[in-house]
Amino acid sequence: VNTNLDLIHSNSAVIDSHIINDVPYMEDINFLTDLYQKDQFEIALVKVKQLISQYPTDSNLFYIEGCCYKGLEQFDYAITSFKKAIELNHEFDLALTQIGTVYLKKEDYLTAQHFLNKAYSIETDSPNITTIYHLGLTYLKLKQYDDAVNYFEQCLKIEPEHIAAINGLGDVYKEKSQFDKAIDFFKKALEIRSDFYDTLFNLGSCYTSIHRYQEALNYLLAAQKIKPDYPELFNELGIFYDATGQ
């Protein structure tokens, strides 16, 4: 399974309806958002900590702090910040979703499932596609394939060209060794974005599995152009060359 966890989590998600327009630090929020979108997480973190010292009961600031730590891949600190945001606002669905995605990155799938399901239960009237997608990915990791398909298909009802969900469906069928069906989904994803590494890699892997080696090599080499030093790609190329006696 090689689905990009952050594909549909754009940095602009830091600002949403949870942050009202008349807060006294709105200019600071806009500045933080700009830094965050530019991946300047360390600078944003310094600023948000200054704001937290002024507004220590504002759940939104702890949420942004968690997003900055997540961007820096300091996942334990991110969890602490998101938990503080949730402690201050028990219905903070975005914080619940983001802590779920962090546990997903830490490969603690049952804890990820717990937080993502809590977010989903809050969002029943207006489902958040980020929550839905990551639930699909969590169930895929747990090998609960019917549930994974359900959530990925929910994503596609909201956004028919949701490339990560389409790729996720391909992953489900790849794991179930239904390679022809997996290839159909991966090719659909490739029509949307021709340079999506995950899809190129998965197509190469599928074609190796069904002994269509030239197509496998074409896709694997295309993936290598995007991520030339990715360990899993070397592993897959090794499988390919072993299968072809090279």
Q: Compute the residue count for the chain.
A: 246
User: What does the pLDDT average to over 203-226?
Assistant: 95
What is the CA 143 to chain-centroid distance, rounded?
A: 17
Tokens of 200: 């190129």
Tokens of 15: 């600002």
CB 102 within 8 A of CB 75: yes
Q: In angstroms, how far apart are the furthest CA atoms of the chain? A: 67
Q: Cα separation of 67 and 73, whole Å?
A: 10
Q: Residue 98's CB: how many other CB atoms inside 10 A?
A: 30
Q: At what angle do helices 93-105 and 109-122 cross, to 10 degrees?
A: 160
What is the CA 73 to chain-centroid distance, rounded?
A: 13
List, as one string, the DSSP characters of 134-160. Answer: HHHHHHHHTT-HHHHHHHHHHHHHH-T
Q: Cα separation of 164 and 156, whole Å?
A: 10
pLDDT value at position 11?
Answer: 40
| pLDDT tens per residue, range 61-109 | 999 999 999 999 999 999 999 999 999 999 999 999 999 999 999 999 9
At 37, the pLDDT band (50, 70, 90 cuts) reads confident
CB 105 within 8 A of CB 71: no
Give CA separation, 228 vs 51, 223, 224, 234, in Å.
41, 8, 4, 9
At 6, the pLDDT band (50, 70, 90 cuts) reads very low
| pLDDT tens per residue, range 178-207 | 999 999 999 999 999 999 999 999 999 999
Does this model's pTM top 0.75? My answer is yes
Cβ neighbors of 23 (< 8 A, separation 6 or more) are 29, 58, 60
